[in-house]
Structure 1
């Protein structure tokens, strides 16, 4: 028997503020089965209060009020992992994996929150270290034809189509060539030797950018808008929130959308939820 599972990802920009501004009203009608959250900026108690009745697993940042990722679901996962990289690498509040059994099939879902970065500073070094750790983990998640999904605020616009004002951001974190080169490797065919956008050599990992595949070569659709000026009203946005699916899971996509609020004052986060439907038991 086949079943469609709806997975939504959103940077909530603070779980308490999102709940106060209307997140739950949206959830009541969204039909979401698994919800991944980034920039929770709260505790397990705050998540439980905001999402009553959900099974919730979170990874808090070491610094209060910063970062934080979580996975909420109607059915409890069979296993949860919170470590990324080696012992010398700190991923607290930025990476959580949960395994689910759906119609007899195994699915791993990740909620990730990549560092924003700042070119030429230690913040950017931390971002590259995180992307390196992702590069190492992704083949493990996708090994042996596994169904795996990395969702979240990955803080990189991969292509010019992903940023409205891309020319003005060529030298800024989020659209640097070296950052984008990682995504060239993530999304190239598995094992393919490629020359990446920063002219470095790379090897494809075989993952799929569900949003770009679903929408094709169009501007956006964007998932984040700065609070400065009238970025939201003029749709001057960035597409930095992703569903990255392993090849077998990418073949299961039946729908995809970015839920842009109807107006600036009806938003409950500066990011929009990114939703995809996947079929299981097929």
Structure 2
């Protein structure tokens, strides 16, 4: 079964030290603990438009990711991130780990175009009838629609390794047979950090023009502040920052650029993973990309 240390590892990966949020998250994780994921009969997978195989393979582990039709499809897919993760997984695991995707799109042609444009060469089931979700009733939060399964298709861990580097770390530990520690933060010197403004409105602008904003992260603790990773909720949002540690009392700028894919209102998050007690720190940009 999923041991408590794994649950706590996941809880600490998704929220900072907020007991109420951690308790709700642990409750969700326990609900899915060791649940068997059910698959539709004879799902058809495709790679670059070519029909492939039914995938019920006898591997020790497999990763299965579901995506619903809500929100921006391109933003949610994060195919470049998946390409990088799969390549990394192939180099560090002792055996091949199958990864399969079930996408329930609003527009099948759109998702096929995205797969081709991103040169995505891994098995995808375009599940027009949403049959995979109807069998399992997955959580509505995309952060919890990806699963590491054992040979019997039971859930070993939950979370999207492309969205969250801590989940990526957990998946790799389990796959490689390493010990999962629930007190991983104790091995890292912690500090304190504050953000001058955690939400920035970009207002109204021409959707075809790239927008920029900057967040200020200040080290208000007594040890060096180190940013370990920065994750965005959308491929249309990019963040640049100095990789140098931040001395106590100093600040670092996180420069954000946003290029809308289509006109419309948006609300995007930037998640900062660092050695601050409040990590992960969630920042947000919002606004209205106007079409004329």
TM-score of the pair, normalised by structure 2: 0.24
TM-score of the pair, normalised by structure 1: 0.25
